[in-house]
Amino acid sequence: MANALLRRHMAKDLSFSQLAWGAWRLRNSTDIKNADDILALIRACLDAGITTFDHADIYGGYGCEAYFGEALAKAPELRHQMEIITKCDISLVNTARPDHRINHYNTTKPHILQSVENSLASLGIDHIDLLMIHRPDPLMVADEVAETFSQLRQSGKVGHFGVSNFKPSQFNLLQSRLDAPLITNQVECSVLELAPIFNGTFDQMQQHRIHPMIWSPLGGARLFTDTDDVCANRLRPVLEHMRDKYDLPGIAEVAIAWLLHLPSQVIPVLGTMKAHRIADATKSCNVTFERQDWFEILVAAQGHPVP
């Protein structure tokens, strides 16, 4: 099964696994009690062919990177089998950041440099494979970000750069100042959040041959349980039908497989903390939907036939 995962070409010297694993729930999951549990999960990912690990400084109240780093310190040889992503810029009110009075963004050079130092120290690594600007900052001085990226690359601390939640115009602005391509834009997309499919975001990505990363690829718990959500209720029987037709473990795998058919060749970030779900998720990569089945899911998601 693991061998079924494709590699996504991200840059001349970097590829990601077709699915990534994301740390944002690492500190509030009952499945993870200590660093050993994390290590087991890391091994489950690697065994399944998932080599790409997605972090952000803010995840878990500025705590997930260090927690993950604690696990990685127990098996440092694994570092060379994985790609590590982290993000900067969002600045949250949190006891770990006593000088923050209000949630805000910060793309200044001092903030980005400090954020990278923190992430390297917390993760216990000396190189970040991909650093992202986490959210568009209305105060972003693109020249300053470009200079900062340049310095981080030259120092060897960061290999590549990307963005998250950027609109096409924001992507174009930052890209215009860089001497290397942004290698991805991580955005929200799922059967419950179709916006980037239709608002130009994925068109831009396909045009520039960039693989988008996808956060919240299941659209949250409401796909599975919320009986008041009209859209989720409309989708559930269709996804269940496809689960049975394509012999998938659950509707989560149908929803992930549906994303994997997008022509921009996205990389969904899985948020599960359960090893068996990791193995299940990789089955999403083995499916080729009939085109009409993909549209049946789209129509259920939109609530109307295609025009």
234 near its own copies (CB under 8 A): no
Stretch that binds its own copies, among 37-45, 102-110, 123-131, 149-157 (CB under 8 A): 102-110
Interface region with its own copies, contact rule CB under 8 A, candidates 5-13, 51-59, 199-207, 226-234? 199-207
Question: Judged by CB under 8 A, does residue 102 bind its own copies?
Answer: yes
Our finding on whether 197 is near its own copies (CB under 8 A) is yes
Q: Residue 283: helix, strand or coil by DSSP?
A: helix
Q: How far is CA 193 from CA 66, 107, 196, 197, 217, in A?
A: 31, 27, 8, 9, 9
In the chain, the amino acid numbered 302 is Q
Q: Is 106 near its own copies (CB under 8 A)?
A: yes
100 binds its own copies (CB under 8 A): yes
The reply to whether 113 sits near its own copies by the rule CB under 8 A is no
Show the binding pattern over residues 151-180: x = contacts its own copies (CB under 8 A), - = does not: --------------x-xxxx-xx--x----
Provide the token pair at 272: 């599960």
Pairing of strands 7-11, 14-17: antiparallel
Locate 187 and state its tokens: 């955005």
Q: What residues between 2 and 21 interact with its own copies by CB under 8 A?
A: none
Residue 46 makes CB contacts below 8 A (sequence gap 6+) with 78, 81, 82
Which of 29, 118, 151, 206 is close enough to bind its own copies by CB under 8 A?
Answer: 206
As measured in angstroms, the least distance from the Cβ of 257 to its own copies is 13
Rg of the chain over all Cα atoms, to the nearest angstrom: 19
- Considering only residues 253 through 272, tell me which ones interact with its own copies, judged by CB under 8 A: 261-263
Active site residue 67: no
* Strand partners of residue 185: 163
Sole binder of its own copies in the list 203, 220, 226, 249 (CB under 8 A): 203
Task: Tell me the residue type at 261.
Answer: H
Sequence-ordered strand ranges (E) for the chain: 7-11, 14-17, 20-22, 52-54, 83-88, 90-91, 104-105, 128-133, 158-164, 185-188, 213-215, 267-270
Element (H, E) at 215: strand 213-215
CA–CA dist 240, 248 (Å, integer): 9
Q: Which is nearer to its own copies, 85 or 140 (CB)?
A: 140
CB of 268 to its own copies, least distance (A): 16
Which residues lie near its own copies (CB under 8 A)?
A: 100-106, 108, 135, 138-142, 165, 167-170, 172-173, 176, 197-198, 200, 203-204, 206-207, 261-263, 291-292, 294-296, 298-299, 305-307
**Active-site residue set:** 59
